[in-house]
Amino acid sequence: MALLAGVAAFTGTGSATLNGDELATISAASRSLPDMWELARHIDGHFLPYYLFMHVWVKAGTAELWLRLPSAVGIGMAAWFLADLGRRLHSVRAGVIAAAVFAILPSVSYYGAFARSYAFAAAAVAFSFWALHRAIERPDRGRWVTYGAAVALVCSTHLFAVLVLPAQLVLVRRAWVARMAAALAVGCVPALVLGLVGFGERHAISWIPQRGPEVWLKFPKMAAGATELGVMMFALALAGAVLLWRARRGGDRTWAFALAGWLVLPPVLLLAVSQLVTPVYVDRYLFVTAPALALLAGLAVAALPRLHVVAAAMVLLLGCVLSFQQHVEVREENGRFENIPWALRVIRAEPDDAIVYGQSQLRIGFDYYADSLMPVDVLRTGDAPSPDGFGYPEQSDVAAALEGRDRVWVVWRGSKKSGLEGTGVARVGQVEEAGFELSLAKHSADLPGLTVALFTREQ
């Protein structure tokens, strides 16, 4: 089942083009270690452990498949820990069903083919619950050290993955409270360091809007990757928590609360952080809950007194039917909503055409994918990105840069309306002020997407 989940995540990896976040991974990982540290001091400091890993990984290449392979492996590892944790909590069939449910989630296909740390975070969280079960089962020193290491991995893969850890506190007992506290204290050191770094860089996420409790209505879709499938799996997960509580005795019953907390606490706590500190509620930060959704659903099906094999097959088949369209969409070229190859096909460059980027960091993607004649990048003043971010140094006088040119292509992230109306994309206004008028504009499809516009000099 672990192999199945990894393969499911890896299929279609080369179909969906890299988006801005993945291209930022290339930009960060391709820098020297001193330059990477300089970047981390200004932006994405909490991703530094992942960038360090990818710094070594990209030495073998930056092809799409290679960049995304670690995430697919992470998904396979998460599925293995789920399968064994399901076996420990209930039975082999529970573990197998949980891993199979995990494999069919569209969110798993998305983040398992995504060159960021979210799949690693999901694997680390599953590892931490598995290690905690082993430590409680036989509380010797070695197993608590393993649990502490798992917690450290959780804290290092993504800052907000730590929101699952409070769910584990319901498992504390007097017999092992000291060892568990020590393991948590040591394991959470990376979270403390990266949290302080992230708080100092909160300006970098100023684009995140403030959210209200209504976001919880979308949480099933986020965790599963499809609305109908998410609702079905959440119903099964609730049943799984109840059935696990009823099937166990004494202190073992708290595992039902721990798994339920793994699923529901992260969105609650993330919204609390958003309200009390700074807006941080972004759906992808909560992918760490997907393994819990699958595990609880697997426990529910496995708990049926008879015909559990038939029931599992029906759940998996229905799940595939309900999520078929989403699986197709995440494997399309525009599956990551930033289709640069499409933009390159739209641009039909003539000699002396210029190109201007609405957001300078878009150059990373055009440099990565361009394999034919490109318009002249008239604003670019250097080949290296800025040391404190992912943008590139540019000259500010757009009119002077376009002197003597009759056509200029402008590309920006977002809808046509966002760039052509108001001041949302400053470069568009500057091109118009330089004496150019809109000739055509096309948008790549799903929002935010990309817009490609051609401006010609007014006669």
pLDDT score for 1? 58
In which band, very low, low, confident or very high, does the pLDDT at 5 lie, cut at 50, 70 and 90?
low
Mean pLDDT of the chain: 92
Strongest mean pLDDT among 201-205, 234-238, 370-374: 234-238
The mean per-residue pLDDT over the stretch 44-48 comes to 92
Assess whether pLDDT exceeds 90 at residue 441: yes
Q: In this predicted structure, what is the pLDDT of residue 372?
A: 73
Mean per-residue pLDDT, 305-322: 91
% of the chain at pLDDT higher than 70: 97
What pLDDT does residue 102 have?
97
Interval 396-403 mean pLDDT? 94
Q: Could you read off the pLDDT of 260-271 as tens digits, one per residue?
A: 999 999 999 999
Mean pLDDT confidence for 61-90: 95
Instruction: Indicate the pTM of the whole model.
Output: 0.94
Kindly provide the b/e burial profile for residues 299-334, where b requires at least 16 CB atoms within 10 angstroms of the residue's own CB.
Answer: bbbbbeeeebeebbeebbeebeebbeebbebbbeeb
pLDDT at 272 over 70: yes
Q: How much is the pLDDT for 12? A: 58
The tens digit of pLDDT for each residue in 321-376 reads 999 999 999 988 888 888 999 999 999 999 999 999 999 999 999 999 997 789 99
With contact defined as beta carbons under 8 Å apart, do 316 and 101 qualify?
Answer: yes
Cα 238 to Cα 50: distance, rounded to the nearest angstrom: 33
| Residue 408, helix vs strand vs coil | strand
182-193 confidence digits (pLDDT tens): 999 999 999 999
pLDDT at 382: 87
Q: Is the pLDDT of residue 162 over 60?
A: yes
CA distances from residue 358 to 14, 24, 27, 248, 423 in whole angstroms, order as listed: 27, 17, 19, 58, 11
What are the CB-based long-range contacts (under 8 Å, 24+) for 307-316? 308/93, 308/97, 309/93, 312/93, 312/97, 312/100, 315/97, 315/101, 315/236, 316/100, 316/101, 316/104
Question: What mean pLDDT do residues 110-134 have?
Answer: 97
pLDDT confidence bin for 201, thresholds 50/70/90:
confident
450-457 and 407-413 strand pairing:
antiparallel
pLDDT score of 2 more than 60: no
**What is residue 32's predicted lDDT score, i.e. its pLDDT?**
95
Question: Averaged over 45-61, what is the pLDDT?
Answer: 95
pLDDT band, very low/low/confident/very high, at 285 (cuts 50, 70, 90): very high
* pLDDT computed for residue 411 by the predictor: 97
| DSSP notation for 61-113 | ---HHHHHHHHHHHHHHHHHHHHHHHHHHT-HHHHHHHHHHHHH-HHHHHHTT
pLDDT on residue 214: 92
Sorting pLDDT into bands at 50, 70 and 90, what band is 300? very high
pLDDT over 80 at 249, yes or no = no
Which of 215, 236, 219, 235 minimizes the C-alpha distance to 227?
A: 219
Beta strand 376-377 with 450-457 is unpaired
pLDDT band of residue 13 (cuts 50, 70, 90) is low
Residue 309 scores a pLDDT above 70: yes
User: Which helix H or strand E contains 427, and what residues bound it?
Assistant: helix 426-433
Does residue 447 surpass a pLDDT of 80?
no
Tell me the mean pLDDT in the region 281-292: 96
